Amino acid sequence: MLSPFNEIRKFTCPEIIFGIDARKMIGKKVKKFGINKILIVTSTKIISERWFRDILLSFKTQGISFVQYTIDNRQSKDTDIEEGAIFYGKEHCKGIVAIGGGSVIDCAKAIGICSSNSKNIKQLI
C-alpha cells in the first residue's frame, strides 16, 4: 500500500501576473474566474507602498469584494496560516490573491490548502 507521500499530486496556480502596470489589471483577471470575494494576503511593508492602492482600486472597479490579511515582514508562521484560513472561511471568500514576496505567497498557498481541506496546517504536515 502506498503512503500518502507516494501519491502523485498536482498544485495548479491559475495565473501569475507581472510587468509594468500589472497591478492595474488584476481586478479584470480575478473577475475572469467568476470570483466575487477574495482574500488579499500581503505584508505590512506592501500595504505601505503607494502602488498598493492601485490594486485595491482595480478590485473595486470590477465589483470584487475583498478583505485583507496582513502578515508581518518576516517568514510566515503556522499561526499566520491558521488565522488566515479561519478568516477566509469566516469572511466567505471564494479566492485568494497574494501580493508580495515569498513569505506572503507561501502563506497564501497554505491558507488555500487548509481552507480547501477543512484542516489546520498541523494536520496536513
Over residues 27-66, the pLDDT tens digits come to 998 999 899 999 999 999 999 999 999 999 999 999 999 9
Amino acid at 7: E
Res 101: pLDDT: 87
Q: How many CB atoms lie within 10 A of CB 76?
A: 21
* Contact (CB, 8 A) for 29 and 57: no
User: Can you give the pTM of this predicted structure?
Assistant: 0.84
What are the grid coordinates assigned to 19, written together?
A: 510587468
Give Cα separations from 82 to 85, 86, 94 (angstroms). 5, 6, 17
